Amino acid sequence: MRVPSELTEFVKKEDDFFIASHFNPEGDALGSSIALHMALKSLGKRSVVFNRDLVPDTYRFLPGSDMVTGVVPAKIDNLLLLDCNSSGRAGLEKCIIGVSAVIDHHLTSDGFGDIRWVVPECPATGLMVFNLLKVMGADISEEMAINLYTAIGIDTGIFRYPNTSYECLAASAELVRMGADPGMIAERLFNNYSRNRFLLLKETLNSIDLRDGIAVTVITAGMYISTGTTSADTENFVNYPLLMGDVQVAMLFRQLGNDSWKVSLRSKGTVDVSIVATAFGGGGHRNAAGCEINAGLQEAKERLLKKLKDIVGL
Amino acid sequence: MRVPSELTEFVKKEDDFFIASHFNPEGDALGSSIALHMALKSLGKRSVVFNRDLVPDTYRFLPGSDMVTGVVPAKIDNLLLLDCNSSGRAGLEKCIIGVSAVIDHHLTSDGFGDIRWVVPECPATGLMVFNLLKVMGADISEEMAINLYTAIGIDTGIFRYPNTSYECLAASAELVRMGADPGMIAERLFNNYSRNRFLLLKETLNSIDLRDGIAVTVITAGMYISTGTTSADTENFVNYPLLMGDVQVAMLFRQLGNDSWKVSLRSKGTVDVSIVATAFGGGGHRNAAGCEINAGLQEAKERLLKKLKDIVGL
């Protein structure tokens, strides 16, 4: 992976940086930001590492996560924008920004950034930062390695998604040699369910309604109450029915109120559920979309199933 | 990883081999066996690749899996025994065996084998075979790479278990460069449940008995019947309760017969369940072990739980 020389020149020349990433951050945004912040310090430079939404509990294990600030400054001299490519995605749209450099692997773009290093085919921003640090001659410490391994890990489903490449495995091997502990990191990222959350998962799977190629699961308000959980505990639940080889679409209905449901849709391969979600006023991507629907549960399910049948033939 | 010279000499000297692995095989047994079989062929040698239980559906995607035979010969001249270290574990206890070489990463052992390469700290037999092939100068084809990546992947939970090392990530990166497709392999290994298997998972989770730091799940003979499944459908089920952050040990009891249970134990971190399994005549590794116990379910559970308490303090 070639690191643009204008980026390395910029980082070499300046001494003070503001590192930002997208709000509602996950491991790639946070891990690559914190690792870059530490590396700049090790090179004798100063930086601030910023995220509007600070660090969710899941990522508090990242060394240096306590250094992330949520304070938006009025003015930024040298911005390093990571894992997104518009100032608005980082919550910085009202800042006066001097020079900005973007390091990102997302496709959507409004052209923001004086220096733009955007590589959509790269699985993770963490892999780009890894390459930048090597080009800059930064020593990658154990703390940086944990951050970068997490960044690459979360965006490849720890090497399970189709974007998993030779480069990200080779870099991750190096990061393990530098001190990242794969077992610990996987444990922190995935095996972090509370007992209540596990009970809710169990109940959610019990709700399954299997049709041809489609699996529907439901979480009612009563299930949250009986298990002592909230909608924040449902992350990734929609995906479980996709364990079945012949399930192409998974839908999870979560109750919002009387006759009101939030619907999450996931699909495999070329099945485009965003069209279905859009038809109900929602949106998303081909394989992950969502919408809301006001109806009783049976009617809501049948309306979604009918739309799926009409639009994608399932 | 040093490959013993007596092993490479043996493989160089002889021309005809019988490759066997433990019955009830998983990806490491099969992937390393098939890759070695292909490599021997590429080196101009002949071999038979054997598994008493043939290839479960999950692993039929492995290139060369159709070459696995279940026919036990009366006599074997040169045995290469993989992923286990006694002839009984491969179902070959009645064979007349000439020279035998063991390639394995399991701790328990009865000393079988004229040549013994047993490395308990190695995460997968596939990683040992990878090193053997390199020392032998075999060209690793795409087909071999898929087999070896699967072997290493299954025994490290695709790089999520604590045994995930620099070496296995570095080797896996090389295997991707040689043609293994990480996304396809993960999909085949994990998102391949039949509907019946998913229903069995659901029922297994419903059986959960949560104690302090321990989760016990049970699969009775009746559950196999009601869901139309067999024990071959239970792979990985033992791990689900480990999703909970405060569960240190997961035990899965699978009914073998009246008052007869196969117990799988999994643990996190430094909790050593192999000591518990060994106490009941079984064996395994620190974080993954198994045994059989003849008792009614309640008594079997309480005996295991008591031993866990006595030995590891849980």
pLDDT at residue number A313:
83
- The interaxial angle of helices B125-136 and B142-155, nearest 10 deg, is 150
Hey, is the C-beta of A96 within 8 angstroms of any chain B C-beta? Answer: no
Nearest residue on chain A to B247, alpha-carbon basis: A195
Q: Which of B193, B201, B241 sits opposite A245 (nearest CB)?
A: B193
Hey, is the C-beta of A57 within 8 angstroms of any chain B C-beta? Answer: no
- State which amino acid sits at residue B2: R
pLDDT at residue number A47:
98
Distance from CA of B136 to the nearest CA of A (A): 23
Alpha-carbon gap, residue B9 to A201, rounded angstroms: 54
Provide the 10 A C-beta neighbour count for residue A93.
12
Q: Are A36 and A129 in contact (CB under 8 A)?
A: yes
State both tokens at B207. 């059986």
pLDDT at residue number A46:
98
Task: Output the CA–CA distances (angstroms, integers) from residue B313 to B210, B276, B289, in the order listed.
Answer: 16, 11, 17
Q: Most distant CA pair in chain B: distance in Å?
A: 57
pLDDT of B136 over the 90 cut: yes
Whether A186 and B242 lie within 8 Å, measured CB to CB: no
**How big is the A-B interface in CB pairs under 8 Å?**
124
Whether A183 and B190 lie within 8 Å, measured CB to CB: no
Using alpha carbons only, how large is chain A's radius of gyration in Å? 21
Q: Are A188 and A58 in contact (CB under 8 A)?
A: yes
Q: What are phi and psi of A76, to 5 degrees?
A: -125, 125
Q: Are B292 and B262 in contact (CB under 8 A)?
A: yes
Mean pLDDT, residues B93-106 taken together:
97
Hey, is the C-beta of B184 within 8 angstroms of any chain A C-beta? Answer: yes
Residues of chain A with CATH 3.90.1640.10: 5-190
How would you write B121-144 as a 3-class SS string? CCCCHHHHHHHHHHHHCCCCCHHH
Q: Are B30 and B2 in contact (CB under 8 A)?
A: no
- DSSP assignment letter at A257: E
Average pLDDT value over all residues in chain B: 96
Q: E strand or H helix at A110, and its extent?
A: none
Give chain A positions within 8 Å (CB) of B57.
none
Task: Output the CA–CA distances (angstroms, integers) from residue B273 to A93, B19, B269, B287, in the order listed.
Answer: 54, 30, 11, 6
- DSSP assignment letter at A74: S
Architecture of domain B195-312: Roll (3.10)
Mean pLDDT, residues B234-261 taken together:
96
The pLDDT tens digits for A39-96 are 999 999 999 999 999 999 889 999 999 999 999 999 999 999 999 999 999 999 999 9
List of residues 6+ apart from A183 with CB closer than 8 A: B160, B161, B162, B163, B164
Query: What band does B58 get if pLDDT is binned at 50, 70 and 90?
Result: confident
pLDDT at residue number A109:
65
Give chain B positions within 8 Å (CB) of A170.
169-170, 173
Q: E strand or H helix at B27, and its extent?
A: helix B27-42
Give me the CATH code for the B5-190 domain, please.
3.90.1640.10
Q: Report ipTM (2 d.p.).
A: 0.86
Hey, is the C-beta of A241 within 8 angstroms of any chain B C-beta? Answer: yes
Measure the CA angle with vertex B174, ends B170 and B180; round to 5°.
120
Q: What are phi and psi of A303, to 5 degrees?
A: -65, -45
pTM: 0.87
Q: E strand or H helix at B214, and its extent?
A: strand B214-219
Q: Which of A172, A187, A245 sits opposite B191 (nearest CB)?
A: A245
- DSSP assignment letter at A66: G
pLDDT at residue number B285:
83
Hey, is the C-beta of B239 within 8 angstroms of any chain A C-beta? Answer: no
Mean pLDDT, residues B281-294 taken together:
93
For chain A, strand residue ranges (E) read 16-21, 46-50, 75-82, 96-104, 115-118, 209-211, 214-219, 249-257, 260-267, 283-284, 288-293
pLDDT at residue number B110:
80
Q: Most distant CA pair in chain A: distance in Å?
A: 63
By residue count, chain B amounts to: 314
pLDDT at residue number B29:
98
Residue (of B34, B39, B32) closest to B65 by Cα position? B34
Whether B186 and A243 lie within 8 Å, measured CB to CB: no
Hey, is the C-beta of A162 within 8 angstroms of any chain B C-beta? Answer: yes
Query: What band does B57 get if pLDDT is binned at 50, 70 and 90?
Result: confident
Residues of chain A falling short of pLDDT 50: none
pLDDT of B311 over the 70 cut: yes
Give chain A positions within 8 Å (CB) of B165.
176
How would you write A172-239 as a 3-class SS string? HHHHHHCCCCHHHHHHHHHCCECHHHHHHHHHHHHCCEEECCEEEEEECHHHHHHHCCCHHHHCCHHH
Q: Are A85 and A106 in contact (CB under 8 A)?
A: yes
